[in-house]
Amino acid sequence: MSFWAFVVNASYFIAAVLFIYGLKRMGSPKTAKNGIKVAGAGMLLATIFTFFNPAIHGGAWNYILMIIAIAIGGGAAWVSGKKVQMTAMPQMVALYNGMGGGAAAAIALVEMYSHEAFMHGNAVIIMAVLGAMIGGVSFSGSLIAWAKLEGKMQKTLRLPGQQIINGVIVLLVVVLGLCIIGSNVSAPVLVTFFFLACLVFGILLTLPIGGADMPVVISMYNAFTGLAVAFEGYVIGNPAMIIAGMVVGAAGSLLTWLMATAMNRSIGNVLFAGFGVDEGSTSEDPEGEMKAVEAFDAAASFAYADSLIVVPGYGLAVAQAQHKLWEFVQMLHKEHGVDVKFAIHPVAGRMPGHMNVLLAEAGVPYDMIYDLDEINPEFPNADAALVIGANDVVNPAAKEDKGSPIYGMPILNVNAAREVYVIKRGKGTGFSGVQNALFFGDNTRMVFGDAKQVCADLSNGLKQL
């Protein structure tokens, strides 16, 4: 081994350590920001030493192409990252995740088109085929997820005989993949049809999935992208890609499983049950009507309460109301002595950790934020609960209505509080399309309006008391 090869491999080892340590730091809100920087430093280190490794580049022209690609990709990412709003963060994650899967698939295609993969034995060919398949599915599926979250596509679209069509496409992908593996020479036509079939399958797999399942789907495609990168790292002999891909794949797989478990559903049910589609639902609309009150009345009720549990949802993100909410909560605690806690459901928002990030951005201390298992026993003893833009994660139908599509999904037991106030823009259903029985409860009052304005009105109401 040459000295330069030793240095490159040593840099990859250090990068791997930084990846794993950074991921560990991301496990706590207090250290997550530092963890991102540590993992980013590892990626930068691996990229620099790969870029300057003369053993894998074929001349000055390749360096020029790489510099152009880095400038375009890095510039676009920098600009979009600076401009993106928190409300658009989920779709950006889906988009970037899809780009990663597409990049891994592109590496596989180049290796197969150029005959390079066929020169290193069946193991490399198999990895190239698997990487192209998983990367292609992640690429097209993530783009559909982005389009749904961005509002550019109908939430769900189920074709007649959807599962049969999907089965035929999967069979076609498998057959074409085996044909490529069994061939001893480059087969551009087979490779092209194989990759196109993978793209079609990713589209068809994602189209029927309801919006409420998007956090799980994004996490799953993130795991797919990681695995595709790891496979292609093996194909081109890059240890850094193998390690980084396996870390992302393992973390994404675990997160996907945890989120599906939090919804009391299997991954297969998420992918194939069409959650959020009304077909076959025997659920009945809640009886009664929503009872509206003004923000001042809600503020007065909170001021005389001993304890309040706040449940943030996607409506908080849409209105960018987290700062106004925290201003109100501080006033409530300092001037009226109310004990306030925040309750976060595992799938609140549009991606994992969405609500935690919003609250941290506003300066809410971590010790005031509780997850579902910690906070649920406290709702029966709470004087009041304030729901801001959350819907499905507080819907009692998940426990009480066996005909509901969300039956069996663990929820925050908001209806057990003595009084419940819900800030909501209108009377529509949540992202899953399921009507919420909580809004019609005897102890529930609705405060209609933009969450940011309502939170400001709540603060003004406290000032008038």
| Residue 186: predicted pLDDT | 67
Residue 54: CB atoms within 10 A of its CB come to 10
| Residue 377: predicted pLDDT | 94
Distance from C-alpha of 18 to C-alpha of 13, rounded to nearest angstrom? 9
Catalytic residue among 213, 373, 392, 442: 392
Interhelix angle 3-25/32-51, rounded to 10 degrees, is 160
Domains of the chain by range and CATH? 3-272 (no CATH), 295-464 (3.40.50.1220)
Distance from C-alpha of 420 to C-alpha of 414, rounded to nearest angstrom? 7
Distance from C-alpha of 187 to C-alpha of 184, rounded to nearest angstrom? 9
Q: What pTM does this model have? A: 0.77
Tokens read off for 265: 């559903």
Low-confidence residues in the chain, pLDDT < 70? 1, 54-58, 86-87, 154-156, 185-186, 210-212, 265, 269-288, 350, 352, 427-433
- Residue 371 annotated as catalytic: no
| Residue 217: predicted pLDDT | 85
Torsion of CA 274, 262, 444, 422, to 10 degrees: -80
Residue 398: CB atoms within 10 A of its CB come to 22
| Residue 280: predicted pLDDT | 45
- φ, ψ dihedrals at 338, nearest 5°: -80, 135
Which one-letter DSSP state was computed for residue 283?
P
Residues 6 or more apart whose Cβ sits within 8 Å of residue 236: 56, 107, 111
| Residue 281: predicted pLDDT | 46
| Residue 277: predicted pLDDT | 45
Residues 220/267, Cβ–Cβ less than 8 Å: yes
- 411-447: pLDDT as tens digits: 899 999 999 999 988 766 655 567 788 899 889 999 9
* Single-letter amino acid, residue 374: E
Edge-to-edge strand list for the sheet holding 369-371: 369-371, 339-344, 307-312, 384-388, 419-424, 444-448
